[in-house]
């Protein structure tokens, strides 16, 4: 007996008559307007009059370039050894965070929920939280549970501190199991705010409980702490380790989620992979200094490290490009007191050479970009170095400080003259910008693909989330090596576009 094993992509499958018919019926059901009306509205949405209306809207967000606070809190929790992220609130929110992270990293994401429903909203979610903690301990045996909140628990004002204390009194969680918590309401802030709140909570909790504990070594600590922040690239962790390896210095990464988001397929799934050891946190408090490769995503954590641990703290936006990487290397050298290794000088020279090779295809290219503040600053710096012109910069979760820093960076180069920074705007605003003032290419997450398609320009996928391309997160984008990867992505997109649009006589073999 023969078995039909044809697996079709849905784009092909939907060409079958039966699906075409279904689609037509669906259209009638969902949007009972004529094709002419649809086309008229689409044409109007491309006018300057519509752009003015679009930019005047104040109570509606369309396709924002940000995610919820607790999503960031989940990532922060997964940066620590055997830690279970626990969401107090709705189950649906938790499913969204897990699927969002899974779609980006292509990995399962362990996180549990207290599953509050209507009765929880009316009477408070204390019993949900306590039962949830009890079940979590029994089923998943974590060494730490990191609790954050979804909007429902925040709206009704659940008191996490009191609830967790009650759970301890009821004997649901043992005394030695840390349960740090963070309030992460998503009606303010974004995933980076939630990441920061959870990271600060974990660091301060683990440090406070170690104070006065004679078993915690006070002097034996690596000299340097490193933070990567809300880091969607597991490859960046590996790259940073490689660079620090050249220096030969000891270091502690505070919040290393690369293991959990890049676990091996070894036949059996475990819930916990890698992460910063809980016992490393109090030791890290005795380090000489802390270097953060993000600035806006870890503001409160850095304030805590500086004031609570009394440490020298240096932060910088995502180090992409030569100048930013030079600064990274300089700061590592200053904080550790070690010389810059010669391997890095050679590497730098090779990347400068590669940038020079590609520069004639990139020079003068007008670019639009959207994403998190730290990434955007890294990308602006890189573009200016290769003579690309950042024109539209949309940062939904950027603040005034970010705007000022981005504008100063743009003003530092003639290639930044046309750049405009839009904070608090979304990707529907970006669509209007791309249509009214066209550029050559866009850089951003997968969410930007719709605006890029409407504007008929290619999208270089960089940032979070990237759902529709595979393994991008495995390749670093920081440091000299990461800069080479970013260069490669952008220049080859430009070359592909040249090929796609080339007349027959210009379809060149060599570029």
Applying CB under 6 A, the residues found at the interface with ligand SF4 are 68, 70, 90, 93, 96, 150-151, 186
Distance in Å, CB of 183 to ligand SF4, minimum: 12
Instruction: Please say which residue, 90 or 358, places its beta carbon nearer to ligand SF4.
Output: 90
CB of 372 to ligand SF4, least distance (A): 17
In the complex with ligand SF4, the residue whose CB is nearer, 188 or 266, is: 188
C-alpha–C-alpha distance, residues 52 and 29, integer Å: 31
Q: Compute the least distance from the CB of residue 87 to ligand SF4, in Å.
A: 8
Which CB, 68 or 284, lies closer to ligand SF4? 68
Q: Minimum distance from CB of 97 to ligand SF4 (Å)?
A: 8
Catalytic residue status for 151: yes
SS3 assignment, position 206: helix
> 33, 62, 155, 488: which one is catalytic?
155
Minimum CB distance to ligand SF4, residue 96 (Å): 5
- Angle between helical axes of 69-77 and 191-210 (0-180°, round to 10): 40
Which value, in Å, is the radius of gyration of the alpha carbons in the chain?
A: 25
Q: Determine phi and psi for 253, rounding to 5 degrees.
A: -85, 120
Among the listed residues 61, 151, 340, 352, the single catalytic one is: 151
Long-range contacts of 157-166 (CB under 8 A, 24+ apart): 158/88, 158/124, 158/125, 158/126, 158/129, 160/88, 160/129, 162/126, 163/88, 163/125, 163/126, 163/129, 163/130, 164/129, 164/133, 166/126, 166/130
Q: How far apart are CA 110 and CA 116, in angstroms?
A: 18
Q: Does 33 qualify as catalytic in the annotation?
A: no
Alpha helices, DSSP H, located in 31-145:
35-44, 48-56, 69-77, 91-105, 118-123, 126-140
Identity of the residue, 78 or 369, whose beta carbon is nearer to ligand SF4 in the bound complex: 78
- Report whether 225 contacts 284 (CB < 8 A): yes
Looking at the Cβ atoms of 38 and 155, the one nearer to ligand SF4 is 155
Beta-strand relationship, 441-444 and 459-461: parallel
CB of 165 to ligand SF4, least distance (A): 24
Under 8 Å between Cβ of 85 and 73: yes
User: Between 182 and 228, whose beta carbon lies closer to ligand SF4?
Assistant: 182
Phi, psi of 87 (to 5 degrees): -100, 120
- Which residues does residue 393 pair with via DSSP β-bridges, in sequence order? 369, 421
Question: CA-based angle 382:248:258, to the nearest 5?
Answer: 60
Residues ≥6 apart with Cβ < 8 Å to 127: 120
d(CA 91, CA 131): 14
Q: Determine the Cα–Cα distance for residues 275 and 492; give it in Å rounded to an integer.
A: 35
Nearest approach, Cβ of residue 467 and ligand SF4 (Å): 17
Nearer of residues 158 and 405 to ligand SF4, judged by Cβ:
158
Positions annotated as catalytic residues are 151, 155
């Amino acid at each position: 007996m023969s078995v039909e094993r044809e697996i079709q992509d849905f784009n092909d499958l939907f060409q079958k008559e039966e699906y075409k018919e279904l689609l037509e019926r669906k259209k009638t059901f969902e949007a009972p307007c004529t094709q002419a009306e649809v086309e008229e509205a689409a044409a109007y949405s491309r006018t300057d009059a519509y752009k003015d209306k679009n930019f005047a809207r104040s109570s509606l967000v369309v396709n924002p370039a940000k995610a919820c606070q607790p999503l960031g809190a989940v990532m922060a929790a997964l940066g620590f050894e055997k830690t279970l992220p626990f969401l107090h609130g709705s189950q649906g929110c938790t499913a969204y965070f897990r699927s969002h992270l899974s779609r980006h990293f292509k990995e399962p994401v362990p996180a549990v929920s207290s599953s509050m429903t209507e009765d929880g909203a009316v009477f408070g979610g204390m019993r949900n939280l306590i039962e949830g903690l009890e079940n979590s301990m029994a089923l998943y045996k974590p060494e730490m549970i990191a609790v954050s909140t979804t909007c429902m628990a925040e709206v009704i004002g659940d008191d996490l501190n009191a609830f967790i204390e009650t759970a301890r009194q009821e004997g649901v969680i043992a005394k030695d199991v840390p349960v740090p918590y963070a309030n992460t309401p998503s009606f303010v802030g974004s995933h980076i705010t939630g990441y920061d709140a959870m990271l600060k909570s974990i660091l301060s909790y683990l440090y406070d409980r170690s104070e006065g504990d004679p078993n915690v070594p006070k002097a034996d600590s690596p000299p340097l702490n490193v933070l990567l922040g809300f880091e969607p690239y597991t490859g960046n962790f590996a790259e940073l380790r490689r660079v620090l390896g050249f220096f030969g210095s000891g270091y502690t990464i505070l919040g290393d989620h690369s293991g959990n988001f890049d676990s091996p397929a070894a036949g059996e799934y475990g819930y916990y992979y890698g992460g910063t050891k809980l016992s490393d946190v109090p030791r890290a408090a005795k380090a000489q200094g802390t270097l953060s490769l993000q600035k806006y995503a870890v503001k409160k954590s850095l304030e805590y490290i500086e004031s609570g641990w009394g440490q020298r703290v240096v932060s910088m936006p995502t180090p992409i490009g030569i100048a930013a990487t030079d600064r990274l290397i300089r700061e590592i050298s200053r904080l550790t007191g070690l010389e810059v290794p010669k391997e890095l000088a050679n590497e730098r020279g090779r990347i400068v050479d590669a940038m020079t090779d590609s520069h004639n295809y990139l020079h003068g290219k007008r670019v639009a970009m959207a994403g998190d503040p730290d990434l955007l600053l890294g990308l602006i710096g890189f573009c200016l170095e290769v003579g690309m012109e950042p024109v539209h910069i949309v940062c939904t979760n950027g603040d005034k400080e970010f705007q000022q820093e981005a504008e100063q960076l743009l003003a530092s180069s003639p290639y930044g003259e046309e750049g405009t920074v839009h904070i608090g705007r979304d990707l529907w605003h970006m669509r209007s910008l791309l249509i009214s003032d066209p550029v050559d290419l866009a850089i951003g997450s997968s969410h930007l693909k719709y605006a890029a398609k409407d504007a008929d320009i290619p999208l270089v996928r960089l940032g979070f989330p990237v759902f529709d391309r595979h393994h991008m997160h495995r390749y670093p984008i920081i440091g000299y090596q990461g800069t080479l990867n970013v260069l490669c992505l952008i220049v080859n997109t430009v070359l592909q576009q040249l090929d796609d649009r080339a007349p027959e006589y210009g379809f060149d073999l060599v570029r």
